């Protein structure tokens, strides 16, 4: 992934026109016919729910909690922090994000699992670069950057590819942007001692996750969302703005 990002950041594709982020689809178990069932003796259900809205126990709480919108955001939120993070890294937008979001997704209206299995959101940065976030039945899994002349670099976990042999065989030369890491654990400990910024600061993770949250808001409202990444506010849409947070169920509270 570092090499793919280095190619993009060093201008091998020229000016970037768009980037496509492909995330998993599906990922849900049996959705219908689930009944209220006794809570396992080892599970404190009230504490497990925490600030989320109360609901009766139906056996869903371990892996499959993430397909319930009260608790998670489906595959979109499960994976945007992975491939969305790499896309932002290649664009050099680690501490900002798109300003427009618009998309569509089918929602199940029955059963406990109510996050979409299929989704596609078109986004745009302030400089005009387009970002597509979609499930991998519609686009290729991972992150793909496209240059203004049509050349591309694609990367996912353990694999990468490019549109031409010249790109695939390209080397990063002395004096160009390089991304080296002694390993996240070692570098984190070093930064605790030196007080320097880690390779993966919380702000970068937050900005990657924010793309997913705003994609979800665009899907739920079914309209274009305008976002100010500097103030981190939705522009001129009070209803959509309310979806940026929710009141916690008592006795939980933010202090």
Instruction: Report yes or no on 247 lying in a domain.
Output: no
> Which 3 state secondary structure label does DSSP give 252?
coil
CB-facing half-sphere around the CA of 221: CA atoms within 13 A? 21
Instruction: Report yes or no on 98 lying in a domain.
Output: yes
Per-residue model confidence (pLDDT) at position 109: 78
Question: CA-to-CA distance for 128 and 221, rounded, in angstroms?
Answer: 23
Question: CA-to-CA distance for 123 and 103, rounded, in angstroms?
Answer: 8
Domain that holds residue 95: 2-242
Instruction: Report yes or no on 38 lying in a domain.
Output: yes
Question: CA-to-CA distance for 19 and 147, rounded, in angstroms?
Answer: 9
Structure tokens at 4: 């793919």
Instruction: Report yes or no on 252 lying in a domain.
Output: no
Instruction: Report yes or no on 248 lying in a domain.
Output: no
Asked whether the beta carbons of 155 and 1 are under 8 A apart, the reply is yes
Question: CA-to-CA distance for 146 and 87, rounded, in angstroms?
Answer: 11
- Give the domain CATH number at 89: 3.30.360.10
Instruction: Report yes or no on 52 lying in a domain.
Output: yes
Instruction: Report yes or no on 207 lying in a domain.
Output: yes
93 — phi, psi (to 5°)?
Answer: -115, 35
Query: Total structural domains in the chain?
Result: 1
Q: In a structure prediction context, what are the per-residue pLDDT tens digits for the chain, which is 255 residues long?
A: 999 999 999 999 999 999 999 999 876 666 667 889 999 999 999 999 999 999 999 999 988 899 999 999 999 999 999 999 999 999 999 999 999 999 999 988 778 889 999 999 999 999 999 999 999 999 999 999 999 999 999 999 999 999 999 999 999 999 999 998 888 899 999 999 999 999 889 999 999 999 999 999 999 999 999 999 999 999 999 999 999 999 999 999 987
Give the global pTM: 0.93
> Which 3 state secondary structure label does DSSP give 136?
coil
Instruction: Report yes or no on 253 lying in a domain.
Output: no
Q: If you ran DSSP here, which 8-state letter would residue 27 be given?
A: -
């Amino acid at each position: 992934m570092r090499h793919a990002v280095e190619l993009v950041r060093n201008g091998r594709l020229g000016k970037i026109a768009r980037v496509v982020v492909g995330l998993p689809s599906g990922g849900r178990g049996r959705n219908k016919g689930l009944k209220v069932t006794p809570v396992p003796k080892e599970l404190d259900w009230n504490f497990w729910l925490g600030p989320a809205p109360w609901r009766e126990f139906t056996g869903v709480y371990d892996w499959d909690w993430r397909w319930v919108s009260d608790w998670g955001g489906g595959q979109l939120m499960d994976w945007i922090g992975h491939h969305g993070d790499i896309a932002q890294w290649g664009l050099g937008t680690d501490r900002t994000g798109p300003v427009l979001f618009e998309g569509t997704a089918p929602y199940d209206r029955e059963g406990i699992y109510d996050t979409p299995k299929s989704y596609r959101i078109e986004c745009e940065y302030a400089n005009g670069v387009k970002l597509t976030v979609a499930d991998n039945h519609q686009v290729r899994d991972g992150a793909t950057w496209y240059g203004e002349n049509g050349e591309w670099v694609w990367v996912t976990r353990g694999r990468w590819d490019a549109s031409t042999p010249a790109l695939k065989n390209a080397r990063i030369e002395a004096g160009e942007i390089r991304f080296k890491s002694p390993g996240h654990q070692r570098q984190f400990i070093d930064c605790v001692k030196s007080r320097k910024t880690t390779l993966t600061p919380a702000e970068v993770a937050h900005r990657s996750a924010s793309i997913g949250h705003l994609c979800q808001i665009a899907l739920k409202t079914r309209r274009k969302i305008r976002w100010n990444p500097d103030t981190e506010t939705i522009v001129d849409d009070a209803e959509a703005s309310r979806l940026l947070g929710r009141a916690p169920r008592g006795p939980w509270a933010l202090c």
